[in-house]
Amino acid sequence: QISLAAELRSCSTVKDLTRAKKIHQAILRNNQHRKDRYLNNLVIETYGKCGSLAEACHAFDSPFCSPNVFSWTIMVTAFAENGKLEEAKRAFDSMPEKNIVSWNSIIAAFAREGRLEVAKGMFEAMPVHDLVSWNSMVTAFSRARKLDSTRLLFDSMPEWDVVACTGMLHAFGEAGDFANAQRLFEGMAEWNAASCNAVIAGLTSSGKLEEARKVFDTMMSEVVENDPQRETLLPERNLVTWNSMMAAYSQAGKLEEAKVLFDRMRSRNIVSWNSILQAYAQAGCIEELEQLFELMPERNVVSFTCLLQAYADNGLLLQAKRLFDRMPDRNVVSWTTMFQAYTQNGDLEQAKLIFNAMPERSVVSWNSMVATECASGHPAKAKGVFDAMPEWD
């Protein structure tokens, strides 16, 4: 039972639906296990994490499952994580009983999608708040780059932990308010890698590479565990720390520095690989970029978009379109990149075809369209697009 649980958890981590189903079958074959609520809940959760809402619902509706508040909350999260926010809300509303975690889950779901007003409404409607409720709101506003609201929320909190502070640090960093970031950082009761990483990312977004590197260098490396300076150092670096610092160099076109870090890393994930791709892209090394793209262990929509953008920057429209057509997934960023590939290379016709075909448009897509009409001497058309554009926050 313990090992079954561990197996299911590992399926969640690697999103292995096939193995999850096998384990589920094994559970169903055992009279004890199949009515075990703990295991049933874990099965539902695992299906959700593996992207199969159908299986999750099926397990939830099974006669062997007598749902408790955990099961319901897991369903809410499963719907939300698979893009079914309205279903999540419906599940939440039909819960026979709710606890604070159920409330926090639905708030986090809306917050994650940027539905700040809904999240705020539910936050105000819930009977009691805990740190997680507050933190979810702080990070939602922080991610939406609403510095003032983030600050108001943060200042209204009854108590703070490192998660709350990291959210606030992120907001200050994005806004370039380093004085406040520093003040907050120095006053924190404890630091961990995430809070330091937020500082590195904030400095990076304003191009303060040297400052970011100082923080990076002051964090503990794996090597200095018995260093006499240990007490004076910040917490130990993790994978995100390395990725953040490398991304700083990549975005700045500092290929050599990025490569050095990439080679020094003890472990890498797809974000590390995408960052090094970007380093080559920014340095204009298209051939190496293509080689790396083929060679990397896995690719996601970010990897494809990075190469797509590089093609566009180098006027390689045919390659760009060919790549776009063979992308396994496209999101609003990749669509907008393809759109801009055409506008930046003067092909308004194709650009408009893409724009009209886009399944979803972001504020960036609309801004680009307006800018394109302006740049091509069509102020009246630009105004038309501007008027057609929805209002954003």
> Minimum distance from CB of 89 to RNA (Å)?
14
In whole angstroms, how far apart are CA 14 and each of 11, 45, 173, 231, 311?
Answer: 5, 13, 32, 36, 32
302 is an interface residue for RNA by CB under 7 A = yes
> Minimum distance from CB of 228 to RNA (Å)?
27
Decide whether 228 or 301 has the Cβ nearer to RNA.
301
Out of 102, 149, 150, 319, name the contact with RNA by CB under 7 A: 102
319 is an interface residue for RNA by CB under 7 A = no
Instruction: Name residues contacting RNA, limited to 255-294 (CB under 7 A).
Output: 269-272, 274-275, 277-278
365 is an interface residue for RNA by CB under 7 A = yes
Out of 221, 314, 331, 350, name the contact with RNA by CB under 7 A: 331
Q: What is the DSSP letter of 161?
A: -
- Residue 222: name the closest of 208, 210, 233, 207 by CA: 233
Decide whether 62 or 99 has the Cβ nearer to RNA.
99
> Minimum distance from CB of 241 to RNA (Å)?
7
82 is an interface residue for RNA by CB under 7 A = no
> Minimum distance from CB of 195 to RNA (Å)?
6
Decide whether 26 or 363 has the Cβ nearer to RNA.
363
371 is an interface residue for RNA by CB under 7 A = yes
Site stretch for RNA (CB under 7 A), options 21-29, 136-144, 215-223, 320-328: 136-144
Q: What is the DSSP letter of 113?
A: T
301 is an interface residue for RNA by CB under 7 A = yes
Q: Judge contact between 76 and 91, C-beta under 8 A.
A: yes
Site stretch for RNA (CB under 7 A), options 27-35, 178-186, 358-366, 377-385: 358-366
> Minimum distance from CB of 229 to RNA (Å)?
22
State the virtual CA torsion across 4, 7, 8, 9 in degrees, nearest 10: 120
135 is an interface residue for RNA by CB under 7 A = yes
Q: Which two tokens stand for residue 146?
A: 């609403």
Instruction: Name residues contacting RNA, limited to 224-243 (CB under 7 A).
Output: 238-241, 243
Question: Which residue in the block uniquely carries the two structure tokens 């760009």?
Answer: 320
- # of chain residues touching RNA (CB under 7 A): 80
Decide whether 45 or 257 has the Cβ nearer to RNA.
45
364 is an interface residue for RNA by CB under 7 A = yes
- Measured on CA atoms in the order 282, 288, 294, 298, is the torsion positive or negative? negative
> Minimum distance from CB of 223 to RNA (Å)?
20
> Minimum distance from CB of 83 to RNA (Å)?
15
Binding flags for RNA, 188-207, as an x/- string (CB under 7 A): ----xxxx-xx-xx------
Q: Which two tokens stand for residue 335?
A: 């669509």
Q: Judge contact between 57 and 51, C-beta under 8 A.
A: no
Distance CA 3, CA 327 (A): 38
Q: Which two tokens stand for residue 120?
A: 């705020």
Decide whether 16 or 367 has the Cβ nearer to RNA.
367
Out of 11, 57, 59, 132, name the contact with RNA by CB under 7 A: 132
Question: Which residue in the block uniquely carries the two structure tokens 């091509």?
Answer: 376
Q: Judge contact between 168 and 138, C-beta under 8 A.
A: yes
167 is an interface residue for RNA by CB under 7 A = yes
For 69, counting Cβ atoms within 10 Å of its Cβ (0-12 exposed, 13-18 middle, 19+ buried), the class is middle
Distance CA 4, CA 43 (A): 10
68 is an interface residue for RNA by CB under 7 A = yes
Q: Judge contact between 242 and 269, C-beta under 8 A.
A: no
Q: Judge contact between 310 and 286, C-beta under 8 A.
A: yes
In whole angstroms, how far apart are CA 290 and each of 76, 282, 284, 306, 355?
Answer: 41, 13, 11, 11, 27
